[in-house]
Structure 1
């Protein structure tokens, strides 16, 4: 992905809101693998929605720079996914991390509903592989002034 010119703020770096755009685009690819992305929403009127997000900004991005995002499934139950993203500059350094709680929502309510059985099976398969990875450095961070 490329940092777009219109995303640059008056400090001459990527505005904080657009980190979330990049994380969201990364997530779109990942949820398609789990068969619960845009095509799933069109077919079922069910979708994923973010209930909570925590972004850690590590190193600024500038106009035109190339980044890649990673998606990691941390935990899941029948209605939720705890996910973790990282954005890496094309030179390999980590720019930002985001930890999110996603809900499976029936849009006719809207109401949080369990995933269908096949989607749950796909999520559990991904979770099995992702749990074998080392714990991410920025997972589980809280905001506060250390005294």
Structure 2
């Protein structure tokens, strides 16, 4: 079902090391799987180690939010898809979905910034090159017809319903 809302970037099987005393996947395991998916995406987009060596630039994640929607257990096969929701000349607004046999398990939203780490200079945000800007525009356009996912851009909080 997620092919309609995102493009698969990573798959894994949950193992016993990812499960806590409640019998379901730990918060850290969700974060690790989403971080691994993001690394796979950055590799696909030529924004990983080879890019850093070539350009002196890299990606920093500056904000994240994970929504835990269903439990995942040891042995569960999961796939993670992504969408590029928005971009600027220096930032990407990414959204990842984790699916298992029961459907959508969790979502991960993040803001990543393009950073210059050139030797002898302080790390600072810097614009992407024109090739990447063009790629990002196409990726945003690819899912423009799909409604924005629930919860995007919302801060966690409690809904108070009278005492």
Q: Normalising by structure 2, report the TM-score.
A: 0.82
Q: Distance in 2 between matches of 1:143 and 1:86?
A: 18
Does structure 1 residue 46 correspond to structure 2 residue 49? no
- Deviation of 1:92 (Å): 4.9
Q: CA offsets, 1:76-119, max 9 Å, x none? A: 00100011111000x15111011111111112321111111111
Q: Distance in 1 between matches of 2:147 and 2:92?
A: 18
Does structure 1 residue 58 correspond to structure 2 residue 84? no
Matches within 5 A, 1:1-147: 1-89=12-100, 91-108=101-118, 109-147=122-160
Q: Distance in 2 between matches of 1:48 and 1:121?
A: 17
Root-mean-square deviation (CA, aligned residues, Å) is 1.5
Whether the 8 Å CA contact 1:34–1:123 is kept in 2: the answer is no
Q: Distance in 2 between matches of 1:64 and 1:42?
A: 38
Q: How many residues align?
A: 146
Unaligned runs of 5+ in 2: 1-11
Runs of 4+ displaced beyond 6 Å: none
Q: Distance in 2 between matches of 1:78 and 1:56?
A: 27
- Deviation of 1:59 (Å): 0.6
- Deviation of 1:33 (Å): 3.0
1:143 match: secondary structure = coil
Q: Distance in 2 between matches of 1:92 and 1:143?
A: 24
2:106 match: secondary structure = strand
Q: Distance in 1 between matches of 2:141 and 2:46?
A: 17
Unaligned runs of 5+ in 1: none
- Deviation of 1:26 (Å): 1.7
